[in-house]
Amino acid sequence: MIPLEKIVRERDIEDKPREACGLFGVFDHPDASKLCYFGLYALQHRGQESAGIAVAQDGAIDEYKAMGLVHDVFDMDILDGLKGTCAIGHVRYSTTGSSVVANAQPLVVRHRDRAYAVAHNGNLVNAHHVKAELEDAGSIFQTTMDSEVFLHLFVRSLHLGFEEALKASVARLKGAFSMVVLTSRGEVIGIKDPNGFRPLCLGKLNGAWVLASETCALDLVQAEFVRELDPGEIVIINGNGVKSIHTKTPNRRSFCIFEFIYFARPDSTFFGHNVYLTRKAHGRRLAEESPVDADLVMPFPDSGTYAALGFSETSGIPFETGMIRNHYVGRTFIQPTQSMRDFSVRVKLNPIKELLRGKDIIIIEDSIIRGTTARTRVKALRDLGVKRVHLRVSGPAHRFPCHYGIDFSTKGELIAARMSVEELRKHLGLDTLSYLSLEGLLAATGIENPEDQFCKACFDGCYPVQFDENLSKHCMEPGSIR
């Protein structure tokens, strides 16, 4: 029998940035829980650790959540049991708080004769300070998530009135937060932070209202896209319709540029620009900035595929799928023996030897984070007889950690922060290595005044919201520094 410790999660071997969570909300639909299920299914790429749905019915909130993928967590019996016309849902990848079922969302609290549920995408950079303040005042926390801080602030401010409590709570939060909130009265609320780091959009479906992290979720449930929420906006959806409240915002927004580069599904749209076409534009600009002669252009599926198509179109070098992905590798798999060191990489991608042997190839990637996976794959290509390997990256080098909801929160994790481009080229075993310039990345989005629209801190170190040195994924855990 294979020991349990041989079971490794895909997350542990994938050298890619990870984002924090997908949100979905439904107001006034007879199949709210089922609609939420399908919305979360479309957003599964944003988080694969846990999934949950909360529904409002008869002045109460019922919920179901568990560790795992959406289709593993829910079945028809569970969804039939979640009765109500208003619901919110969440898929999670943890960037604050451990990956345990206690930290799964939506998080539900009961205060006096009412209940409230919240689902959060992003990272609050001051949550550990606010939590300490609340605990000193007598608050008791159920989880180690930053999201719970919002609910404590909210219920403590309800004496101001419902809308004022929302505004007062949001004003205390710093960092990245898109949220959907459900009340036991059946209200659904969408909240976006003043900088607009994380996406959230509004849709309509046969009289019902829908909130979603990405437009691809609206497409699946056949909801009509209405608009994206503005930075600092709170929308309250109830029987009176949709009420919009705008809070104070900075002069520029800070939408995460990595939504366009990697996080979002290619069929989603932000700022009126499709993600698929934007990634192709990144590849075209990359071919202009860093041309090189080769026999073929190929991605490491699936992250670099769309930029590789654009690179091929502009360079005239044929696009090939030189690596075949095993789509049946689940979230976990078993390593048979310790001696198979590279099995975790090879089980997912296998090169077409007859296509690649003796060729000069250009590999297109969207990022290099830790460099471990790229180095293993380049070595495998060398071993099968590829003549020259050129790597082109469709974004600038990651040299600075992200504290707004991407899971590389220390500079030491980023190989480009420790090595020059030439040092990294040698380390990875490449013939040439080039990154897309930050100027080229922004220009290729096609968005007006891109310098004033995006957070680029992971590339340039210019952080829109300040944080302290004690901020970490586990800063809310017991015994952490206050």
List the one residue out of 232, 186, 222, 195 whose CA is nearest residue 83.
186
List the one residue out of 150, 100, 140, 142 whose CA is nearest residue 120.
150
Task: Tell me, yes or no, if 36 is annotated catalytic.
Answer: no
* Spatial contact of 89 and 36, defined as CB atoms under 8 Å apart: yes
DSSP 265: -
Gyration radius of the chain over CA positions? 23
Question: Catalytic residue among 21, 86, 256, 458, which?
Answer: 21
* Spatial contact of 3 and 290, defined as CB atoms under 8 Å apart: no
Phi, psi of 29 (to 5 degrees): -135, 135
* Bridge partner list, 319: 297
* Bridge partner list, 388: 360
**What are the residues whose beta carbons fall under 8 Å from the beta carbon of 339, sequence distance 6 or more?**
none
- Cα(145)–Cα(420) distance, rounded to whole angstroms? 36
**What are the residues whose beta carbons fall under 8 Å from the beta carbon of 423, sequence distance 6 or more?**
none
77 preceded by a cis bond (ω within 30 of 0): no
- Cα(163)–Cα(171) distance, rounded to whole angstroms? 12
- Cα(275)–Cα(297) distance, rounded to whole angstroms? 21
| Exposure letters 231-260 (e unless 16+ CB within 10 A, then b) | bbbbbbbbeeeeeebebebeeebbbbbbbb
Q: Is 362 helix (H, G, I), strand (E, B) or coil?
A: strand
List the one residue out of 262, 263, 202, 212 whose CA is nearest residue 235.
202
List the one residue out of 162, 157, 131, 134 whose CA is nearest residue 144.
131
Sign, CA dihedral 237-242-245-251, equals positive
Helical (H) or strand (E) element with 315 = helix 305-315
Sign, CA dihedral 290-296-301-306, equals positive
- Cα(185)–Cα(162) distance, rounded to whole angstroms? 12
* Token output for 410: 């220390």
* Token output for 107: 């998080």
CB atoms within 10 A of CB 182: 31
Residues with catalytic function: 21
